[in-house]
Structure 1
Amino acid sequence: MIEETVNAETQQVISVWVRDPRIQKNDFWHAFIDYEICLHTNSVCFTKKISIVRRRFSEFVWLRQKLQANSQLMVQLPELPPKNIFFSMNNGQQITERMKGLQKFLEQILQSPLLLSDSCLHLFLQSQLSVPKMEACAAGQTHYSVAQAVQCCGLRRFHSEEDLQKNLSMSCDSDSDSSECRDPELRIKDLAINKAESTASLDLMGTSQEETLSCSCGSI
């Protein structure tokens, strides 16, 4: 009985939620939907135990392609929700189905020890880097590392590597006492309690984020 209790306490858990779809406008004619990805874990695979980022469908497509290429076909990756040419940003049911499919995709990805070692996955889940910057960071072509990119997640999106280096000292990790670092934990605990409700809730016309958040940081 004691041994079972110890095993239960030391079991590594990775919880992920995809929620809160929002319409983001590039300009008058172009818009897209992004989704909030919340991660809560005690796994040693992750530098940061709690994180919240936003990603759009095309970035999920990029992630799957990179994971498939990097794993050299040693892992059969789950499929993403199908791309619907009739997909409408005004159709709540379509958005909810896509959101559920994206969450299922991540849940299956996070069950693979091989994929958990991929820097692209960590940058996708725990940084706000754009796709080109994630690729450069994972390839070691930036002045900052994957770990630094992850640690600065939650700050404003940096527009240059100089901005990143200047603000690394302000990066908040899971051990910080600042209120900014505690907020994500409170939000994720709330999600854990209300997971079923939050998955179905939509906020399509909510306040748009400050012009496509993006924390230009680097790799694990």
Structure 2
Amino acid sequence: MMGEDTDNILYEQVVSVWVRDPRIQKNDFWHAYIDYEICLHTDSVCFNKKISRVRRRYSEFVWLRQKLQANSQLMVQLPELPPKNPFFSLNNAQQITERMKGLQNFLTQILQSPLLLSDSCLHLFLQSELRVSRIEACAAGLTHFSVTQAVQRCGLRRFHSEEDVQKDLSLCCDSDSDSSECRDPEPQIKDLAMNKAASTTLLYSRREETLSSSSGSP
């Protein structure tokens, strides 16, 4: 009886996903791509965050499918992505719409698999702003933040105190950046102060030398 109740609860849980709002993003003057907003609403216990929005491009969907297939060890037959079109145009509304629908259908199908729902890469893809290399690192436990922390940080943009600003500064630098300059701002502040003090001392020394030269001249 208890098992039946549990099955009913799991069955009634809803995971709704939409792929929408295609936008052209420019890398530079010659190169551009389209990314799409992924909106997820759920009451499933599989998700720590019940509502989320992130943006992903087609190549990231390709990475996700390959990663899920490898992680599931071929135990799940994954749905296909919309095929890559060598003649895909950023100005062709019909092609963009068809690809967008295909991406949504792909996500809708994989979110019906309990095995795939246990994959950390899927959760980070859907509910974090990490790029794919950082998703792999986080899922493998190679980052100082957990999967849950990466998900909860997604979309935080407002601050209410100086402490919140400092937390977000640390978050932005650590969550999706390989730059060592972001790791610890305090040494940089100290270095800046020391450099400023050294510059001031040098300035005073030069002034003293100038005054001495002036007083010693006939």
Q: For the residues of structure 2 that align with 1:68 and 1:153, how far apart are their CA atoms?
A: 25
**Partner residue of 1:19?**
20
Shift of 1:155: 2.5
Q: For the residues of structure 2 that align with 1:130 and 1:81, how far apart are their CA atoms?
A: 21
Q: Which has the higher helix share?
A: 2
Residues 174-219 of structure 1: CA distance to partner in whole angstroms, max 9, x if unpaired? xxxxxxxxxxxxxxxxxxxxxxxxxxxxxxxxxxxxxxxxx639xx
**Partner residue of 1:175?**
none
**Partner residue of 1:118?**
119
Q: For the residues of structure 1 that align with 2:83 and 2:10, how far apart are their CA atoms?
A: 38
Larger RCO (alpha carbons 8 Å, 6+ apart): 1
Q: Does 1:31 align with 2:42?
A: no
| Aligned structure 1 segments of 4 or more residues deviating by more than 4 angstroms | 7-10
3-state secondary structure, aligned to 2:79: coil
Q: For the residues of structure 2 that align with 1:166 and 1:142, how far apart are their CA atoms?
A: 17
Q: For the residues of structure 1 that align with 2:48 and 2:168, how far apart are their CA atoms?
A: 19
Residues 146-171 of structure 1: CA distance to partner in whole angstroms, max 9, x if unpaired? 00000000025xxxxxxx9933999x
Q: For the residues of structure 1 that align with 2:10 and 2:113, how far apart are their CA atoms?
A: 21
Residues 97-117 of structure 1: CA distance to partner in whole angstroms, max 9, x if unpaired? 000000000000000000000
Q: For the residues of structure 1 that align with 2:52 and 2:87, how far apart are their CA atoms?
A: 32
- Number of paired residues? 163
> Which runs of 5 or more residues in structure 1 are unaligned?
157-163, 171-214
Shift of 1:9: 11
RMSD: 2.7
**Partner residue of 2:212?**
none
Q: For the residues of structure 1 that align with 2:150 and 2:57, how far apart are their CA atoms?
A: 19
Shift of 1:28: 0.7
Q: Does 1:55 align with 2:15?
A: no
Q: For the residues of structure 2 that align with 1:96 and 1:148, how far apart are their CA atoms?
A: 33
**Partner residue of 2:176?**
216
Letter in 1 for 2:136: E
Q: For the residues of structure 2 that align with 1:100 and 1:54, how far apart are their CA atoms?
A: 15
Letter in 1 for 2:120: S
Q: For the residues of structure 2 that align with 1:100 and 1:168, how far apart are their CA atoms?
A: 36
3-state secondary structure, aligned to 1:122: helix
Q: For the residues of structure 1 that align with 2:121 and 2:28, how far apart are their CA atoms?
A: 29
3-state secondary structure, aligned to 1:134: helix
Q: Return closer, same or farther for 1:216/1:147 CA change in 2, 3 Å cut-off.
A: same
**Partner residue of 2:130?**
129
Contact 1:64–1:77 (CA<8 Å) still a contact in 2? yes
Shift of 1:140: 0.5
Q: For the residues of structure 1 that align with 2:166 and 2:145, how far apart are their CA atoms?
A: 8
Q: For the residues of structure 1 that align with 2:45 and 2:25, how far apart are their CA atoms?
A: 34
Q: Return closer, same or farther for 1:81/1:38 CA change in 2, 3 Å cut-off.
A: same
Shift of 1:142: 0.4
Give the percent of matched residue pairs that are identical in Structure 1 and Structure 2: 81
Q: Return closer, same or farther for 1:117/1:10 CA change in 2, 3 Å cut-off.
A: closer
Letter in 2 for 1:53: V
Residues 92-149 of structure 1: CA distance to partner in whole angstroms, max 9, x if unpaired? 0000000000000000000000000000000000001001110111111101000000
Shift of 1:11: 1.3
Q: For the residues of structure 2 that align with 1:165 and 1:80, how far apart are their CA atoms?
A: 40
Contact 1:25–1:32 (CA<8 Å) still a contact in 2? yes
Contact 1:148–1:168 (CA<8 Å) still a contact in 2? no
